[in-house]
Chain A
Amino acid sequence: MLDVDRQIINALQGGFPISERPYAEAAEKLGLSEDALIARLAQLLEDKMLSRFGPMYNSEKMGGAVTLAAIAVPKARFKEVTGIVNSFAEVAHNYQREHKLNMWFVIAAEEPGEIAEVIEKIEAATGLEVFNMPKSEEYFLEMKLAI
Chain B
Amino acid sequence: MDIDPQDKALITAIEDGLPLVSNPYEAVGAMIGLSENDVIQRLETLIEEGVIRRFGIVVNHRKIGYRANAMVVWDVPDEFVSKAGRALAKLPYVSLSYQRPRHLPDWPYNLFCMIHGREKKAVEALVEEAALSANLQDIPRAVLFSGRQFKQRGAKYSQAPAKVGAHA
Contact = CB atoms under 8 A, between A and B. Distances in A.
Interface residues of A, number: 83
B125 interface: no
A92 B59 contact: no
Interface string B18-40: 10111111100000000010001
B98 A135 contact: yes
Instruction: Tell me whether chain A's interface is mostly helix, strand or loop, or mixed.
Output: mixed
Interface residues of B, number: 82
A131 B107 contact: yes
B122 to A, nearest CB: 13
Interface of A: 1, 8-9, 12-16, 18-24, 34, 38, 41-42, 44-45, 47-68, 70, 72, 82, 86, 89-101, 104-110, 131-145, 147
Contacts of A15: 54-56
Nearest to A35: B22
Interface of B: 1, 3, 11, 14-18, 20-26, 36, 40, 43-44, 46-47, 49-61, 63-66, 71, 81-82, 85-86, 88-89, 94-101, 103, 106-107, 112, 116, 142, 144-155, 157, 159-168
A101 B36 contact: no
Tell me which of A24, A90, A98, A109 has the highest count of chain B C-beta atoms within 10 A of its own C-beta.
A98
Contact of A54 (B14, B85, B166): B14
